[in-house]
Amino acid sequence: MQAFSIVQGIVAPLHAANIDTDVIMPKQFLKGIDRRGLERGLFHELRFDTAGQERPEFILNQPGWRNAQFLVVGDNFGCGSSREHAVWGLMQYGVRALFGTSFAGIFSDNCARNGLLTITLQQEELSCIMQLAHQPGLNVVTVDLQQQTISGPDFELSFAIDPMRKTALLQGLDGIGQTLTWRDQIQAFQDKHFKDNPWFR
C-alpha cells in the first residue's frame, strides 16, 4: 500500500451525487489479470468521446484541473459494484485523496487498502473546498495526515479518521502481514467455532 503523509496538489470538483464505480471504471477495463493499465479507464466515458478523443468539457481535461491530486466529490461517491479497479484507476491517474460527505462502504474500504485517503466532511466544510476547486490557478490544497488537516490559501480544516486507518496509511502497512501476527488467535477461534457449530465446517 502507498503511504500517505503530506501531499500538496490541485483539487478538482465533481459535483454529482451517486457517482458509481461503473462510471469511475467501466466494464471494458475489467478484463485484466493484473492492476495495470487502468489510468486510461478512469471516468472513461466522461473523459473521452467514442473516437477516443478527450471531451473538452470534462473537468479533468481542462487546464487548471488536469492531473488533479484531489477530487471534491458529491454524496455517495463510489457506490455500486465492488470492483477495486476503480480505486486502482484513481491512484494510477494520480489522485491521492477524495473529499466528500459520504462514501460507499466497499469503495471506502478499497481506498483504505490501497492508500487512497477518503476524507468525510460536513457539507459547509466541503462547500469551502468546492468553492476553491472552482478557481483554476488558486485551487491548491495541502493534506497533512499526521495533523489531520486540509489547508487552502485562506482556510484550514481538520478532519477525523479512524486511528487504525491513519496508522496504516501513514506507514503504508501490509494489512495481511499484520493480521497474520495473530495467527494463533485466529486458529484458536476457528477451532472453537467449529466445535460450537460443526455444521459450518
Partner 1 sequence: MGKTLYNKLIDSHLVRVLDEEARQVLLYIDRTVLNEYTSPQAFTGLRQAQRPVWRPEAALGTVDHVNPTAARRSALMPDPGAARQTAYFAENCAQFGIELFDVLHPLQGIEHVVMPEIGLVLPGMVIAAGDSHTTTYGAFGCLGFGIGTSDIEHYLATQTLVYRRLKSMRVMVDGVLPPGVTSKDIIMALIEKIGAAGATGYAIEFQGTAIEALSVEARMTICNMAVECGARGALMAPDDKVFTYLQGRPRAPKDALWEAALAAWKTLASDEDAVFDAEVHLHAADLVPMVTWGTSPDQAVRISENIPDPAREADPVRRQGMQRALDYMGLQAGQPASSISIQRAFIGSCTNARIEDLRDAARVIGERKIAPGVFAMVVPGSSSVRRQAEQEGLDQIFMNAGFEWRQSGCSMCLAMNDDILASGERCASSTNRNFEGRQGSGGRTHLMSPAMVAAAALAGHLVDARHYRGNI
Does the footprint of partner 1 cover residue 140 (CB under 8 A)?
A: no
Q: Which of 3, 6, 138, 164 binds partner 1 (CB under 8 A)?
A: 164
Determine which helix (DSSP H) or strand (DSSP E) holds 98, and give its type and residue range. Answer: strand 97-100
Q: Compare residues 137 and 199 and give the one whose CB is closer to partner 1.
A: 199
- CA angle (128, 69, 8) in 5-degree steps: 75
Nearer to partner 1, 155 or 182 (CB): 182
Instruction: State the Cα–Cα distance between residues 16 and 77, nearest whole angstrom.
Output: 9
End-to-end Cα spacing for the chain = 33
Q: Which is nearer to partner 1, 16 or 138 (CB)?
A: 16
Site of grid cell 487552502: 152
Q: Which of 7, 20, 61, 151 binds partner 1 (CB under 8 A)?
A: 20
Q: Mapping DSSP to helix (H, G, I), strand (E, B) and coil, where does residue 64 land?
A: coil
Query: Which of positions 73-112 make contact with partner 1 (CB under 8 A)?
Result: 74-76, 79-84, 87, 102, 104-106, 109-110
Q: Least distance to partner 1 from the beta carbon of 100, Å?
A: 11
At closest approach, how far in Å is the CB of 142 from partner 1? 25
Q: Which residues pair with 73 in a beta bridge?
A: 14
| Cβ contact 91:117 at 8 Å | no
Considering the rule CB under 8 A, would residue 39 count as an interface residue with partner 1? no
| 51 belongs to the binding site for partner 1 (CB under 8 A) | no
Nearest to 42 by CA among 74, 5, 78: 78
Tell how far CA 44 is from the center of its chain.
17
- Binding-site ranges for partner 1 (CB under 8 A): 15-18, 20, 22-23, 26-27, 30-35, 45, 50, 74-76, 79-84, 87, 102, 104-106, 109-110, 113-114, 162-165, 175-176, 179-180, 182-183, 185-186, 189-190, 193, 197-200
